[in-house]
Structure 1
Amino acid sequence: MKKIIIGDRIVKSFGEGDEKRNVLDGVSVEINDGEFVAVMGPSGSGKSTLMFALSGTDNVNGGKVVFDGKDLSAASENELSDIRRTSMGFVFQQPTMLKNLNILDNIILPSMRDNRKNVAEISGKARSLMKRVGIAELENRDITQVSGGQLQRTGICRALMNSPKIIFGDEPTGALNSKSAQEIMDIFSEINADGTSVMFVTHDAKVAARTERIMFMRDGKIVCELKLPKFDGTDMDGRVEKVTVKMLEIGV
């Protein structure tokens, strides 16, 4: 199976001298094309730092990251920016939107850089994505006129605008109630079923249980993994129990 990401003995350090510590301590990880992966661990274990390293958002101090055959460690800042914009999508716990733009314009703005002359085409794609995630009627709303779940759906649409090969999510349901969180996870499951790789950082066992492989981190290392079958909408309680038991076993 094709590897969309290969991280080889990644080291990421913060601080200087006696205060220096490795937040990522020689982490090696592979993510397959079309895979749905979660990363769990206590605060400070290196989860988000790993995501930023694998996406080329943060430089590493050692090791190598290869994305879709491209060595990110050897890429220039402009090359990294192009890769993130055209091949990756990002969804965060609190979507960052511009207050002076409506929902539709916030979705299409990042795509305008490469397609300034095709506003109608870009807007059409955005509207199709909005319909897909259930916010078609909100395109003219200000970002202060929608709920947290609707704003997160807006962020998902924006992340999908350039048809990325992978979606990275950092606690993408962390600010949502349980109903909205489930709806957002349904959307991500559909995205993954269409062939897009998805990697989440999460503290939530219910979110992790929707994925097919969970990497558990502690002290800058991946200490173990748990594999689950593709989620088919059944036995959610059993999946959550497996994740919870594993968390208790390894103390994360």
Structure 2
Amino acid sequence: MKQIVTGETIVKYFGKGGERVKALDKVSLQINEGEFIAVMGPSGSGKSTLLFALSGLDGIDSGKVMFEGRDISLLSEHELADLRRTKIGFVFQQPTLLKNLNILDNILLPAWRGNRKNTLQITEKARKIMKRAGIAELEKRDITQVSGGQLQRAGICRALLSGPEIIFGDEPTGALNSTSAQEVMSLFSEINREGTAVMLVTHDARVAAAAERILFMSDGKIVSEIRFPQSAGRDAGNKIRKITAKMQEIDI
């Protein structure tokens, strides 16, 4: 199976001097094509830091992050920005949308920065993705005129526009009510079934149950892992029970 992202003994520190804290402690993992991975752990365990490192949004102090065989630390700023724009999607807990742009223009903004020659084609693609996400009728609305769940789906649309190999999500349902969270997770699951790898940080066992592989972190390390066979996909209740038991075991 094709490897998309590989982390090799990743170390990341925050702070300086006596306040220096090791956020990631020799973390190694690989993400394969089409995988759906959830990352769980207590606050401060390194979950979000790992996502930022693997996606190239933040640097590391030692180790390697390889994207399709390329060491991203050796890329220029332009090459790294191009990689993130074309191959990687990132969805934040709070959608980072601009108040002076409507929903459609917010979705289009990163694509416009990279390719102004094909505006019509990109706009049409964005509208198709919005229709799929159930927000086609919102394209002219300001970001203050839609719900939190609709904003998050707009953020996912933006992440999908370039046809990425993988989408990272940092607590993408954390600020949503249960109905909106379910809608967002249905969209992630659909994206994954079509072949895009997904890696999400979450505190919610119900969200993690959408994944086939759950990584548990503590003190900057991956301390445990659960893998579910594809045949377990429909038995969400059993998956949630196993995930919850593991969370209690490692005190999440």
Pairing 1:22-33 to 2, within 5 Å after superposition: 22-33=22-33
Change (3 A) 1:126 1:8: same
**SS at 1:128's partner residue?**
helix
Q: How many residue pairs end up in the alignment?
A: 252
Distance in 1 (CA, whole Å) between partners of 2:167 and 2:245 is 27
Code of the residue aligned with 2:22 in structure 1: it is N
1:226 — aligned with what? 226
Q: Does 1:46 align with 2:46?
A: yes
Identity %: 66
CA distance in structure 1 between the aligned counterparts of 2:16 and 2:99, rounded to whole angstroms? 39
> What RMSD, in angstroms, separates the aligned Cα atoms of the two structures?
1.2
Name the aligned partner's letter for residue 129 of structure 1.
I
Cα 1:231–1:165 change in 2 (3 A) is: farther
Counterpart of 2:61, as a letter, is N
Paired with 1:82 and 1:119, the residues of 2 have a C-alpha distance of: 18
Is the partner of 1:203 in helix, strand or coil?
A: coil
- Please name the residue that 1:113 is paired with: 113
8 Å contact kept, 1:211–1:230: no
Task: Verify the 8 A CA contact 2:90 2:169 in the aligned structure 1.
Answer: yes
CA contact (8 A) 2:8 2:65 kept: yes
SS of structure 2 residue aligned to 1:123: helix
CA distance in 1 between counterparts of 2:118 and 2:86 reads 16
Alignment partner, residue 243 of structure 1: 243
Are residue 128 (structure 1) and residue 128 (structure 2) matched? yes
Aligned to 1:164: 164
Match of 1:213 in 2: 213
How far off is 1:19 after superposition?
A: 2.1
Stretches of structure 2 that go unaligned for 5 or more consecutive residues are: none
- The alpha carbon displacement at 1:223 in A equals 0.2
Is the 8 Å Cα contact of residues 210 and 231 (structure 1) preserved in structure 2?
no
1:232 deviates by 7.1
Q: Which residue of 2 aligns with 1:188?
A: 188
Counterpart code for 1:13: Y
1:130-155 Cα deviation digits (max 9, x unpaired): 11010111111111111111111111
Q: Is the 8 A contact 1:211 1:231 kept in 2?
A: no
TM-score normalised to structure 2 length: 0.97
Ranges in structure 1 where 5+ consecutive residues have no aligned partner: none
Helix, strand or coil for the counterpart of 1:99? Answer: coil
Whole-Å separation in 2 of the counterparts to 1:108 and 1:195 = 23
Look up the match of 1:87.
87
Counterpart CA distance in 2 for 1:219 and 1:85 is 31
Residue of structure 1 equivalent to 2:198: 198
CA displacement at 1:230 relative to structure 2 = 3.4
Residue 119 of structure 1 aligns with an amino acid whose one-letter code is T
